[in-house]
Every structure is written in structure tokens, then in C-alpha cells.
Structure 1
Amino acid sequence: MPSLSEETGGRVPALAPGATIGIVGGGQLGRMMALSAKYMGFHVGTLDPTEDCPTAQVADFQIVADYDDTAAIRELAERSDVLTYEFENVDADALDAVRDRVAIPQGTDLLRVTQNRVAEKTFINDHGISTAPWAPVNSRAELDAALGRIGYPAVLKTAEGGYDGHGQIVLRDASDLEQVWPDEDFPPAILEGFVDFAYEASILVSGNGEDHVTFPVVRNIHCDNILHKTIMPAPMDDGMQERARELAVALAKGFALAGTLAIELFVCADGTLIVNELAPRPHNSGHYTIEACDFDQYDLHVRGICGWPLAQPRTLTPAAVMVNVLGQHVAPTREAIAGHPEWHVHDYGKAEAKRDRKMGHITVLTDDAERTVAELDATGCWADITDRG
């Protein structure tokens, strides 16, 4: 295994260019991770069930197999010097089974905590950080008891699995209980009380096992539980930015973080910051960093898992706006590209454009985020989002 130095202290042992990074998952996050790794001189392999997936298009090799295929994960481990993952729903036991063959700097504790909402909320609260009021529920009787304590409105979520709103039931009053699973089909779940927040936000933190650095807090705008826009910076003062940075670093230290961790927040009108969810990987809301920062979230993820030193990222522009391109937006945005030289266009190389499927994103660097948001909306490319939102 190529090595730069053994003098790392608590840092991940350093890999030199020429080493191989194996990525479990082949979507757009893995693609952008691989592009950063290639610039640094690393080789990249990916495991994904879809042949010619987005990551494979820029990687050195692909193993076509399901994520829980232990033989395939073993093959990826044997062909790699370090393993990472680009999404949460990876079999942690399968990764543990190959830790004698390959370094997994992110570890599997981080994975297990973020795969289970009960474990995640417990971890966050144990570090003295606020979340929405919550309770674990495993039956209708436990749900009724939790509603008695937390009250309406609330949201019922499966403890494991689910993304972009899947596996969630919003309970605004007792009539919504008709949507809840019967006892015989009731999965392990969590009930969360609603938070009266001013807006949603997120912060990214990256580590190498020893040092931790953060990106600015950004504002996120969702539609139908899918991220639509990210605006950098979030409209908050320096004190709130510092509180967000402190909670991000506290969580990162709790995991001895290597790589990038995303922390989704609710920002309340009184300045309170409440953690909503964690993502143990680069994040959709951090795509803007590719153009807007000197080191982006993928650079620092790769540097972190490879044991390289980390610099505090600097923004290169006063503001930036990132907007997702879903399946229904592919045609109109492609038609509009010719008239927008300011657009930084990213296409993920997915074979089929489906409605609400993330197909790419566009970032605009600006000195006036409000004006840029209005200009993006005025193109009409995201008219369905405007109508639904």
C-alpha cells in the first residue's frame, strides 16, 4: 500500500497518489468523488449493480453487483487500498467482514448510527445538541402514547431506510392515522414532532481522523421532500455560523470523522439551531462547493479518507446558488444553456431521465443570491417546482 508518512498521530494513515480508492455505490456522489480523486492521482474502482453507472463512467473499473453481495465487496476490497461509500444504505456487516483486507477510514459505527434514526437522534442528543422532540415507536399503542406526549402535528418515519420523503407519514391530526401501518406490518419507527422553523439549512464538516474543517452554512429549499435549491451563504449572523460550526465539529469528533459529513438543520426564528438528520458522506447541498470554494466537499472527503492534511476551505465568491435538475427539467435546461454562459452545468450521465430523479445540477456564482434565484426562476425551466412549491 503506497504511503506518504507514518507520523500521523490520530490521523488516518496517509496514502500516496497511485493508491486505489474503492467506492461502494455508483451514483452522482461517487462520480464527483471519483473526479476529485483522479485529479489527485488516485485510481478509482466502484461497485454498483447498474452497468456504466455515473461513477463507472469516470472510474478505472467497475464491479457490477448488488451492494450486499459479500463476494463482490470482498473483490473490491482486494483491489483497493481504501474503501468509502457514497450513500447510507450499505451493508455494514459486509464492510466489517473485509476490514482485515482494506482500510475503511470512515468505519462502520458512523454508518450504523446514520442508518437508524433512533440511534442517530440518540447520538446527537448525547452530544448535547438539540433535535426535534422524538420517540421510538414499534406499534400503534406506542404511537398513541408518543402522540400523547409530543402531540400533533408530527411525522412518523421508519427507523431505517427511506430517502427524499419515502417511508414517512405526516400526521396533522387524528384523521391521518388511517395511513399508519397495522400492527402486523408496523416496522421499527420514530415519531418526530414538528419544529416551527424559519428555514432549512445544512453544514458540511470534513475530517482526517484528527483535524476537522467546515464549510459555510447554506440555506436549502425543498419541494415534495426533494432538495430544489441551495443558497450560499445562509442568512445568519457570524454568531449563528459559529454555533453551527461548533456543533458540526462536536459531532465530527464524536465519530473521529474521516471524510465528509453533512448535517441538516432547522433554523428557528430566535436563532436556535436544531439538527434534523446526518448524512455520512458528501451531500446534495454541498454541490455548490465545486465552483464556489478552493477545496470542495469531494476534495476534502478524498483527502480525509486518504489521511492528507486539510485546509479550512475558502469561498471564492460572495454567494452561490445551486439548483437541482430533475428528470422533467433536463429538456428545458438543455435548451436554455445557450443563453446562460454563467451556468456551471453538471450532468450525471444517467441513462434514463425519470420524473423527480436527480439528473444533474446547475450552479451560479453571484454577488446577489436573491437576484440570481429570481433569474433562475424566470427561465421557466423549474416551473413545476414553482407551481408545487
Structure 2
Amino acid sequence: MNVTVIDPGATLGVLGGGQLGAMFATAARRLGYAVVVWDPDPEAPAHRLADSSLIRPFTDSAACQDFIGRVCAVTYEWENVPADLCEQLERDVPVRPSSRVLRVIQDRIEQKTFLRAHGLPVPAFHAISSPEELCRQRALEYPLVCKTATAGYDGKGQWKIARAEDGAAVQEDLARSLRPGSRWILEAWLPFEREVSILVVRGMDGAVRTYPLVENVHEEGILRQSTVPADVPATVADQAAVMARSAVEALDGVGVFCVELFLMSDGRLLINEVAPRPHNSGHYSLDACTVSQFEQQVRALCGLPLGEVRLLSPTVMLNLIGDEVLLATVSPAAQDLLREPGAVVHLYGKRVVRPKRKMGHISFLAATREAALSKASVFRSRLVPPHS
């Protein structure tokens, strides 16, 4: 297959200027590309790393034409960028992953339906299009989880419903947030054994690279910690890689994808969600792999050969959430952290600290998985105030 390569020296565009956009910009510039960041938020950290920026709404047609005139190819840092904008952009420049892929993934109902239609196992689900349908539904047994079909992240736009009688309160929440065209997906609440995820990179020529399986811990819907390699049998890791690759190939996706899965107690794997971009659980690759997920994003976007996915060291990635970032920036805790062998600090440059906001992360590298977990555990114990 002939692939048009975008050589270093060209200018790449990224929609979204958060930490993922900033990490993409850093990887792109290291490989010799210029970067234009389009994000309506003037405080988005990627603006400070870009060669140039657009700080305009994504609905601004003049900004769209300006962006097209500056870039040779476009990617995005999260799945909630407008698919219509991506479709408009790709009439003139490549957008990877494509707007077609984005439309499937950014709607949870469409995504689950697509995966199931391609023979990939997903949790039992049921779609509703009005709040009143919630309490009338009989398709799923309780407990279940209700999620907005679109948008929502880090636990936002999600409600756990333990019993049928708890549905009334959630129904009121849905009614208060009702918008034209609103839909929700109900999913069986699964007593999973572990949450795992895996990065898949696919090039324009169909070449695929699959990273090691990662074990994740979430708190209040926010990723707290990722450990690689996951402590699972090799057969489970292999099965996860096959499933994740099959999902990306079914989408005919080009770029970096993260496939999140539930590992059940009987060894079954179910796909929870697919993200069409680098992922928080893949940040370990910045320090523990020969080629990071962000460099792979650049390579896939530009038609370059994909890099190897070799894991150099067991690693635990720990997110810094809200004012926990002070432990990495204020002495003496900051100095103690920097003295720790194998600890690598990444701060995102967000100027406003808010509760539940990801402010940075720390990778703890060690010779063994157990040693990396121990380092992370010692640091985590400092995140809990003494009086709590």
C-alpha cells in the first residue's frame, strides 16, 4: 500500500490544548515538526508549547479556514471535539483518526452497538432517550450504571443505580440536565476483578503495534493509578491484545487507541470503552518505553513507520489530583520526591488548581513490579492528611 508521508519540517495541527495536546506537541517538535494548537481556552497548557495557536470557538468558520491554511495534517487530544469540525477539516487535510471513527466512538450507544455487531464482548446495555424511560426499563437487572451517551469523562455524567427504587432520584438529575437529542446508555454494573487497558497503534498501511496490558485503579470515576505490566496470566494479556487489535481494525482506525476492559472473576474480558487517542493509563510509556504513545501518535498521523513498543521497566503511574500537586512542587516533599530513584515527575502547567482536576502524574520505575508498587504506595501514603 502506498502511503503519503508527511516529512519533518511540516506543520501539524491538534484540536485540544490540555495535557494530552501538550504531550503531543512536545513529541512532534522533538521529531522536527511545527505544531498549531486550536483550543478555545486561552489557559490551555498546550498553547505555551505550540509554534502558533488558535484561541477561538470550534464553531468559528473563519478559524477553521485559518487552521486549514496552516497545517498539513490534524489529530485531536480527546473524543469530545466536534465530529462535524473534523469532517470539514478532512475535506482539505488528513484527520487521523477520521471523523467517521470519531462519530462511532464519541457516542457510547453507537460504540457499544458497533463493537457488539463485530463480535466483540461488551457489558449488557440498553439505550434510553428520555428520563421517564429510566424507571420503566426492564431490559437490565439492578444494579446498573447510567451514562450520558455523549460527553462526560472522569466520572462526570455517570450514575450508579443500586436498586430500582433509587432510579427516581437519577431520573430527576437527567431531567434537570435535559438537552435536545439527549440520550443515555444503561449498562449492567459488573463485579469485575480488575480494570485493565491496552494501547493499540495502527498505521495507514495497516501495521499494528500493541503495548503491554496495564492494570488500573479508579477512585470516584477518576484514574488514580496504572501499573504495567498487569498482574494477569499471559493468556489473559494475549486475549486482551487480540480483542483490542480487533476493535481498532474493525473501526479501520489510524492513530493511537486505548481499549479499556473489565477482567471478570471467571477470566472473561469485556470491552468497556475505546478512546481514539493517547490515554492517561498510557502515560507510563513516556518514561518506560522506547517509543511513547505520543510519538506513536505523530508517526501514525504522518505516515511514518510505527515505533517498537518495548517495555524497559516495570512502572506504576500515579495521578496528582487537585492540590496533591503541592506534594510535587513544594519543599520538603518535592525534594524528597526528586531524590527518589526511579521517580519521574510530570506537571501539566495548569494554572488553576481545582478538586478532581488532573494536575500532573508521577511514574515510579523499578527493577520489579513489586518494587515499583512499593514506591508508589509510600508516596500515596503522603497524599492522605494525617488527621483523616
TM-score normalised per structure 2 = 0.92
AA at the equivalent of 1:338:
Q
Q: 1:35 to 1:184 in 2, by over 3 A?
A: closer
Q: Tell me the SS of whatever aligns to 1:180.
A: helix
Cα distance in 1, alignment partners of residues 238 and 16 from structure 2: 33
The equivalences for 1:1-389 within 5 A come to 8-9=1-2, 11=3, 13-140=4-131, 142-146=133-137, 148-182=138-172, 187-209=182-204, 210-317=206-313, 319-334=314-329, 335=331, 336-339=333-336, 340-379=340-379, 380-383=381-384
Spell out, residue by residue over 1:201-252, the C-alpha distance to the aligned partner (whole angstroms, 9 max, x if none).
1001011121111101100001100000000011112211111111111111
Amino acid at match of 1:21: L
Amino acid at match of 2:309: P
Q: For 1:139 and 1:58, how far apart are their aligned partners in 2?
A: 43
- What secondary structure does 1:361 align onto? strand
- Deviation, 1:69, is 2.5
Give, in angstroms, the shift of residue 270 of structure 1: 1.7
* Inter-partner Cα distance in structure 2 for 1:341 and 1:224: 30
| 1:25–1:48 CA contact under 8 A, matched in 2 | yes
Distance (whole Å) between structure 1 residues aligned to residue 269 and residue 307 of structure 2 = 26
Percent identity reads 35
Shift of 1:360: 0.7
Rounded to whole Å, the distance in 1 between the matches of 2:55 and 2:156 is 26
User: What is the rounded CA distance, in whole Å, between the counterparts of 1:82 and 1:304 in structure 2?
Assistant: 11
Aligned to 1:4: none
Q: Which moved more, 1:166-175 or 1:134-143?
A: 134-143
State how far apart, in whole Å, the 2-side matches of 1:295 and 1:222 are. 26
- Cα deviation digits, residues 34-76 of structure 1 (max 9, x gap): 1111111111010112225211121101111123333223211
- Which amino acid in structure 1 is aligned with residue 383 of structure 2? W
Residue 370 of structure 1 and its aligned partner are, at CA, apart by 3.2
TM-superposed deviation, 1:140? 4.7
Count of residues paired in the alignment? 374
CA RMSD of aligned residues (A): 1.8
Q: Quick check: 2:134–2:171 contact (8 Å CA) kept in 1? A: no
1:223 maps to amino acid:
E
Q: Which runs of 5+ in 2 are unaligned?
A: none
Residue 145 (structure 1) shift: 4.7
8 Å contact kept, 1:377–1:383: no
Question: Which residue is 1:3 aligned to?
Answer: none
8 Å CA contact retained: 1:44, 1:61: yes
Q: Would the aligned equivalents of 1:260 and 1:280 in 2 still touch at CA under 8 Å?
A: yes
Q: Secondary structure at the match of 2:89?
A: coil
Measured after TM superposition, the shift of residue 371 of structure 1 is 3.7
Post-superposition offset of 1:352: 1.1
Query: What is the alpha-carbon distance in structure 2 between the residues aligned to residue 290 and residue 371 of structure 1?
Result: 19
My pick for the range that moved more, 67-76 or 38-47, is: 67-76
CA distance in 2, matches of 1:354, 1:264: 26
Deviation at 1:266, TM superposition (A): 0.4
- Partners of 1:286 and 1:71 in 2: how far apart? 35
Q: In the aligned structure 2, how far is the partner of 1:227 from the partner of 1:37?
A: 26
Q: Distance in 2 between matches of 1:163 and 1:276?
A: 13
Tell me: CA distance 1:347–1:140, structure 2 relative to 1, closer, same or farther (3 Å).
Answer: closer
Compute the displacement of 1:337 (Å).
Answer: 3.0
**Contact map agreement 1:133 1:192 (CA 8 A) in 2:** yes
Q: CA deviation at 1:97?
A: 1.8
SS of 1:316 mapped into structure 2: coil
